[in-house]
A and B are shown apart, each in its own frame.
Chain A
Amino acid sequence: MISHDKTGTGPLLAPCDNGSVYEEIRHVLKRPDLSDGVLQQILAERRFGADTQLGADAFLAGKGLAEERAGVIRTMIVPPPLHRLDMPAHDLEPPLSRRFAPLAARWRRAVHMLRPQMKRTPAPVRNR
């Protein structure tokens, strides 16, 4: 199981439902990928520091100067950006049949070039 750190003391106050708070958080953290739902949860669980200049309640109430509010926002524990990359597993010890497949193909090509007539002549014709 994988866990990302996400702490809180439970919802004490209803988070500010004003969309501009979410925009403000995304702007300060330069994280446009954070959805409203995630931010709502963060605010509801109060996943940010209380020892900042601006109190948590004041922040949630939309009070304080921009810099003070940014100080609170920068203490928020937000999830990392989710942007997966595929990481295919390469087989470094493939079976011999696969390992020598290019060699076998080259051999077949060489045989084909050396004996073109036999390849082109249908078997019944050759037998006759």
Chain B
Amino acid sequence: MQPAGSKVRSAGPRRLAMVLAAVCLTTAASFMFATVVQSDGFDRLDVVRIALMAVAAFWLAWGGCIALFGILFPPDKAAAVTGRPQGRTAILMPIYNEATGPVFARLAAIMKSVDKLLEADCFHFYILSDTTRADVAREEQSAYRGLLLRHQAGGRLFYRRREQNIGRKAGNIADFLETSGGAYEYMLVLDADSLMDGETIVEMVRRMEADPRLGLLQSLPQIIGLKTLYGRLLQFATSLYGPYFARGLAAVQGEEGTFWGHNALIRTRAFAASCGMAPLQGKPPFGGHILSHDTVEAALLARDGWKVRLDPDLTGSYEEAPANMVDYAKRDRRWCQGNLQHSRILAAPRLKFWSRISILQGIFAYLASPIWFLFLLTSLTAPLVAPPPVYFDGYSPFPVFPHPETATALALLFGLVALLILPKLLLVIRTLTGGNAKAFGGPARLVLSFVIEILLTSILAPILMMFHCRSVMQVFVGADSGWPTADRDDGSLPLGAAISATWWMALTGAAGVAFSHYYVPELFYWLLPVALPLVFAPLLVWMTSSVMLGEISRRLGLLAVPFDARPVAIAAEMHSALLESETEEKPSDMSGQIAGAVA
């Protein structure tokens, strides 16, 4: 199907400006680093170090530019039709062995929010279960019946279960399209931990109807519901910086935008025609079904001329996130495999140039850590293999001493740190001057929270780097992740689980400290900011997973987010739905057998 419609302003000049800015910053950093490393002579290892530094610095510069563009370019006012939507929308919740109660409570909250709308009958709800465990499936069916009876949602709430999750979530959605997709103009794809306001959903439909070329509209989900210190840190960062990073992304991506796999509205016919993906040849991790399918689906829609747009101004879209670093690393392990698998489709035919850049960006999100790690290793090794200094070069009768480049090295270090901190600082200043500081606990608490966030993320960065390195290595050798199973409902971790997940980091950090102390003492103090957090990784991971520390920070008004003071209505609705479902009796009259497919 060939989409028709008007063309919006091109993102080309912004893209060019961003690439130029990132390249200029990278060149400056690489030049400074080259000046530093050649002070004690130049060898082949220095070339490797400069190359690694250049790649890593480009990645940092890219992130900094995205935030800067988010400040510079506010989103355009999106067009939306008024009145009742013309097309029907299917709200899809794909699930896979999830905790049944919270999943159905979220759906109940969304249904209640949608039911308040005049356009409520334009929306149908689907629970697309790929659950493989029979006991969970039984709970799901019982919860489905309870929800249907409570909401009197017959004819617009459906439950479908596949016993084998072929093709994972992408296969689950494809199965829906191949069964019922034609009955709906749009589908809103959720995750098991998604929450969305009815008003937001209908606004998305209106924006979709206003632009017949729009194939996918992605909202910006805010992270909510986390109580641990790490969770509050995530919430604070995504709440304060997230919207601006998203605006920056939207500004450069334009019509070849992003899809995060959930909380997005999709034109069903466009998706069905464009987004079917044949499995890649060979075995996993690089072959088989495409794992992180969302990025590829966005690229395929753009390839067929559909617009894929991220609208950061769409509020009322929420998700939950891992509450501790180990759960975060587990999720990253899955995403890492999916993104590295995308290296095989970078050269897929007819993809738009910016879609390829987005795919490359996804790959680099995980390769950046091994690149930094290799850079550290080569920097530790370089002084050992450096040629001896030449005091008499044959041109001067006097000895020529190596020129110390400490000032340049410090300037480079501060420059890189500024790339990380400056965009965030600008966003804090903007929040302070824009009068939004009250939502983050007031000006003083906002500044203090900013300092805490910078300190904590800097301390935790080496740990995340090591988790990423491990994930990348596991993907390359095809090893299992082997994570400890210590899930608690509140997201906290026992010390044993933290030690089990990070003991190897402590050993690596200690080895690095010892090595630099004995063999390269001139780098000892430079290495400490990276090595010490690794040595104390078990303690840090355990402490940041603490609900008590999270609660203390909340009481002190630190790492505060707008919904600390003004709870999200739909989240409160979800909690009351959860309580209701836990206390009420199971529907007795409909607890019969589960029959085969309805013809």
Chain A residues within CB distance 8 Å of chain B: 1-10, 28-31, 33, 38, 47-51, 71, 73-94, 99
Total CB contacts across the A-B interface at under 8 A = 160
Interface residues of B in 519-539 (CB under 8 A from A): none
A52 vs B595: C-alpha distance when bound (angstroms):
24
Query: Chain B interface residue count: which class?
Result: 35 or more
A91 vs B290: C-alpha distance when bound (angstroms):
11
CB proximity of B223 to chain A, nearest CB, Å: 32
Chain A residues with CB under 8 Å of B296's CB are 92
A7 vs B163: C-alpha distance when bound (angstroms):
18
CB proximity of A14 to chain B, nearest CB, Å: 19
Give the residue name and chain of the A residue nearest to B590 (CB).
A7
A49 and B590 contact, Cβ closer than 8 Å, known pairs A3-B160, A87-B272: yes
Chain A residues with CB under 8 Å of B182's CB are 83-85
Q: Can you pick out 12 interface pairs between chain A and chain B where the beta carbons lie within 8 Å of each other?
A: A7-B145, A49-B589, A51-B589, A80-B158, A82-B183, A83-B183, A84-B177, A85-B269, A90-B275, A90-B276, A92-B277, A93-B280
CB proximity of B506 to chain A, nearest CB, Å: 41
Beyond A84-B178, A85-B177, 17 additional pairs, beta carbon < 8 A? A2-B163, A3-B160, A3-B163, A3-B595, A5-B161, A7-B590, A8-B593, A9-B589, A29-B156, A33-B183, A49-B149, A75-B154, A83-B181, A85-B272, A87-B181, A87-B273, A93-B344
A4 and B598 contact, Cβ closer than 8 Å, known pairs A74-B155, A85-B272: yes
Scan B150-178; emit 1 where CB is below 8 A from any A CB, else 0: 00111110111111000000000011011
Inter-chain contact A38/B278, CB cutoff 8 Å: no
Chain B residues with CB under 8 Å of A30's CB are 121, 155
CB proximity of B28 to chain A, nearest CB, Å: 37
Chain A residues with CB under 8 Å of B290's CB are 92
Chain A residues with CB under 8 Å of B348's CB are 92-93
Inter-chain contact B590/A73, CB cutoff 8 Å: no
Inter-chain contact B180/A82, CB cutoff 8 Å: yes
- The 8 Å CB contact of A88, one of B156, B273, B599, is B273
Scan B120-135; emit 1 where CB is below 8 A from any A CB, else 0: 0100101000000000
Inter-chain contact A77/B349, CB cutoff 8 Å: no
Chain A residues with CB under 8 Å of B27's CB are none
Chain A residues with CB under 8 Å of B354's CB are none
A90 and B159 contact, Cβ closer than 8 Å, known pairs A47-B590, A74-B154, A84-B178: no
Interface residues of B in 329-351 (CB under 8 A from A): 344-345, 347-349
Inter-chain contact A8/B592, CB cutoff 8 Å: yes
A31 vs B598: C-alpha distance when bound (angstroms):
15
CB proximity of B363 to chain A, nearest CB, Å: 15
Chain B residues with CB under 8 Å of A4's CB are 158-160, 597-598
A58 vs B148: C-alpha distance when bound (angstroms):
21
Point out which of A4, A76, A79, A80 has the most chain B C-beta atoms below 10 A from its C-beta.
Answer: A80
CB proximity of A36 to chain B, nearest CB, Å: 13
Inter-chain contact B159/A5, CB cutoff 8 Å: yes
Chain A residues with CB under 8 Å of B300's CB are 90
